[in-house]
Structure 1
Amino acid sequence: MTPPSTRDSAATTVKVTVTVTVTVLALALTLGGCGSGGDQGPADHPSVPAATGTGPYPTPSDAREAAPLPVGAKGTPKGGVTRPADVDQRDADAVGRGALKVMWTFDADIDSGPQDAMVRAADAGWLTKAYAARLRAYRPRSVPGAQWREWAGHRAYTVVTVRNAEDAAKPGDTGTEAWRQWTVTAAPFGRDGWAGSATTVVAYVHLTRTAADDAWRIADVNVP
């Protein structure tokens, strides 16, 4: 998979194609030899790339206190998750950062796997209708790996930091499209006092809206 880098520098309009990446949002929960590794597949069966952990885990830079979503069938992850109404929805940075935090907020005490976090993001309203439908419909090709089982044993949840990592070559924003690049770090902490290795990935986000005064929504997330 590639980041959104299909660009024509001579053109005034830049077309960026972002492959829909779903299982990538599992971060590296198949690390340690579990999962599909570098197996390549079509857009509706994306691969799970290797990822590396980083540490020590930094303090989250967003001081906004997360407002918990209403408790659903499986409950709310520890610390809650932010809703679009809690940020300036006309700010592409705020919407992209908020959505990524939700998509990487896992709680092994209530989640059966990383897919549940993606569905939470879809249900919370961060995504376009089309992208939300694709995430809800996605079915992982394999069960969560050894790392998720370790998290479940500690009843672990993640604390997520999203930091700007802009690419100078990215297209400029238009009234209805924007592209962003962030470094996402998720650190697992167990309810029993255990702390696992943090995992960091770079996420390329495509945001869209129907008009210049409308709210931004996430149309695609790609992790190379």
Structure 2
Amino acid sequence: MTPSRTRGATAAAATALAAVLAAAGCGSGTDGGRQGPATPSAPAATGTGPYPVPSDAAEAAPLPAGSGGGTPKGGVPRPDDVDQTDADAVSKGALTVMRTFDTAVDRGPSDAEARAASAGWLTHAYATSLSEHRSRSAPGAQWREWAGHRAYTTAALEKTEDAAKPADTDTDAWRQWAVTTTPRGRDGWTGEPATVPAYVHLTRKAAGEAWRVDDVLFQ
């Protein structure tokens, strides 16, 4: 697995953050949180979801160096496939790309993040952070098991609600999804699905412009 950043807030802190955003409309930059193939986890909406501090960088990002650059079996969505002014559609599309792996074309789980950055789903700041924190070690035992079946994953997303989620502004939005990843071998093997909650922060420069994902926390 790749590491997951644990930056966020409790319900009280997130409520305070929403008040600050409403009063000042500003924030500081963030690093990215990420995670590779997940261990099973319940997707319940807790009401205490962590939400990152906003960043004011909202442009699409270049492909991080060292990406495998392949296309997984079945393909993945691109920003042009969705309404980019819809935070739901952009967050769902980005998460689908980030959780779709293919051992036949990827050297490890982080290549999915590189695809998301290359396609333009992410802000430049977030893509740079992911690139800087990419694992240089070999993938773990789970990836090796998948590779033995030449497996790829499919990602199914269900939107969940969180009472602590700050209200959207013209330039910042937060979304929560339950993401179920299922490995499927080209030899007919199917692995155990794993479900994790994902908290997504999106930014854009102004109302009516395209959203970009500025942070993701998989729990």
TM range (shorter): 0.7 to 0.9
The 5 Å alignment of 1:39-188 reads: 51-52=39-40, 74-140=69-135, 142-188=137-183
TM norm structure 1? 0.75
- Residue 127 of structure 2 aligns to a residue whose secondary structure is helix
CA contact (8 A) 1:180 1:205 kept: yes
- Partner Cα distance (1:143, 1:149) in 2: 10
Structure in which a larger fraction of residues adopt helix: 2
- Residue 127 of structure 1 aligns to a residue whose secondary structure is coil
| 2:205 is equivalent to residue 205 of structure 1 | no
Q: Against the structure 1 CA distance between its residues 114 and 196, is the aligned structure 2 distance closer, same or farther, given a 3 Å change threshold?
A: same
Structure 1 gaps, min length 5? 29-50, 55-71
Counterpart of 1:195 (choices 190, 195, 204) is: 190
Tell me the residue number matched to 1:13: 20
Q: Against the structure 1 CA distance between its residues 112 and 52, is the aligned structure 2 distance closer, same or farther, given a 3 Å change threshold?
A: same
Structure 2 gaps, min length 5? 1-5, 22-26, 43-66
CA shift, 1:18, in A, is: 6.6
RMSD between aligned residues: 2.3
Percent of counterpart pairs with the same letter? 56
1:94-144, CA deviations, whole angstroms, 9 ceiling, x for partnerless residues? 000000000000000111100100000000000001111222333315321
Length, aligned pairs only: 183
TM norm structure 2? 0.76
- Partner Cα distance (1:171, 1:17) in 2: 17
CA contact (8 A) 1:3 1:204 kept: no
Larger RCO, structure (CA 8 Å, separation 6 or more): 2
